[in-house]
């Protein structure tokens, strides 16, 4: 969930649709999903989740300036070196996938999450 704001920032409707469906299929709480746009004001997210979302936003918007030291300090308080490297790689990959999806004009609403059978 921490990388969802990337899709909003980049305007990837297909990606938003796909990942909301995947999160819902995985059992994510609806209240947390619907409140993610206002994550700073909502109490539904842990300090670790907040740090990850702030990091994802800052790395996505890096063209606006450097990642703020306060954001880096907060994410380092919650993530080890490898975890932060993995998170940063995920942010970079999602930014790339967003751009590919937008360029390919993928149509939102067509994605269906994988169904788990018992």
Per-residue pLDDT of 68-114, as tens digits, reads 999 999 999 999 999 999 999 999 999 999 999 999 999 888 888 88
CATH of the domain at 26: 1.20.1290.10
Q: Residues 6 or more apart from 50 whose CB is under 8 A from it?
A: 39, 40, 74
Residue 110 lies in a domain: no
CA angle 6, 11, 13 (to 5 degrees): 100
Based on the structure, what is the number of domains in the chain? Answer: 1
Condensed to tens digits (0 to 9), the pLDDT of residues 11-21 reads 889 988 998 89
Residue 112 lies in a domain: no
The pLDDT, as a whole number, for residue 68 is 96
Residue 117 lies in a domain: no
DSSP string, 66-116: PPPHHHHHHHHHHS-HHHHHHHHHHHHHHHHHHHHHHHTTPPTT---PPPP
Express the helix, strand and coil content of the chain in percent, nearest 5 each.
65, 0, 35
């Amino acid at each position: 969930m921490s990388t969802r704001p990337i899709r909003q920032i980049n305007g990837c409707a297909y990606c938003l649709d796909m990942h909301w469906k995947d999160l819902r299929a995985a059992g994510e709480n609806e209240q947390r999903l619907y409140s993610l746009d206002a994550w700073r004001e909502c109490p539904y997210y842990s300090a670790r989740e907040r740090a990850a979302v702030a990091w994802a936003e800052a790395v996505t918007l890096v063209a606006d300036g450097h990642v703020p030291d306060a954001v880096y300090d907060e994410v380092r308080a919650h993530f080890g070196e490898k975890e932060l490297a993995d998170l940063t790689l995920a942010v970079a990959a999602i930014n790339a996938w967003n751009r590919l999806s937008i360029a390919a004009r993928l149509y939102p609403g067509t994605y269906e999450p994988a169904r788990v059978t018992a």
